[in-house]
Structure 1
């Protein structure tokens, strides 16, 4: 996985957009309007902002040392089931983040970044679809 390309794309997006939260969630809700109802109590967008910050942190850990990201993803898949969030939404959300970054970065988004994100999304999806940590222990280490 091209750690530097993922980090570079996040840095470029951060330079160009102070807060990606509205863009990510606008895209998510446009593509999956049923998800907006799950945020009915998040009037000040604090939950959305915190969730996106955790996603960025998890991505950086996942492409880096992998100290906690895979476990966090698995745990959150299980936790969110209590909010009636189907597991596939996690894969959709990660892809939404990538698509938003691509939009914000524009012409500076390279084919290599695209390939790195495609690989990352596939790797993340493994943990989304395998939330049982006993089954995935040692994978990707």
Structure 2
């Protein structure tokens, strides 16, 4: 399987096992990075968290696939989030938290091939999340 198929399969598998990953992703994020919770003080009904995770999933799937818009979307969101005092490094953290949450949810069904696909994807995403000008 190629990287796109493996990443897609991992999202499908995690959704089958856990349904909505939003509470699990943000529980992990706030446990591992408690300073992040304060950034969501307005999100009383958790809609912003759900929408953000949905956009991240769609962006990752586009990034490993046709890459029609994801690289520019990520760069744009890094700049937009700076207005909320969110440093670019948070995007790198968040992408990793999504992967780690899915890996935990999938358990033994998370294969070495899926893990390698995610590792290479996270490495490639880093350049966009940190506004590295050499990313293409």
TM-score range, shorter chain: over 0.9
CA contact (8 A) 1:74 1:131 kept: no
| Structural RMSD (CA) | 1.2
State whether structure 2 residue 112 is matched by structure 1 residue 125: no
1:43 matched residue in structure 2: 44
CA contact (8 A) 1:13 1:101 kept: yes
State how far apart, in whole Å, the 1-side matches of 2:131 and 2:33 are. Answer: 23
Count of residues in Structure 1 that have an aligned counterpart in Structure 2: 135
State how far apart, in whole Å, the 2-side matches of 1:18 and 1:11 are. Answer: 10
TM-score (norm 1): 0.92
- Aligned ranges for residues 1-141 of structure 1 at < 5 Å? 2-130=3-131, 136=135, 139=136
Runs (5+) with no aligned partner, structure 1: none
Deviation by residue 1:101-136 (Cα, 9 ceiling, x = unmatched)? 00010000001111100000000111012266xx64
Please state whether the residue corresponding to 1:41 is helix, strand or coil.
Answer: coil
Offset at residue 2 of structure 1 (A): 1.0
CA contact (8 A) 1:78 1:131 kept: no
CA contact (8 A) 1:21 1:48 kept: yes
State how far apart, in whole Å, the 1-side matches of 2:69 and 2:104 are. Answer: 28
TM-score (norm 2): 0.96
State how far apart, in whole Å, the 1-side matches of 2:118 and 2:99 are. Answer: 7
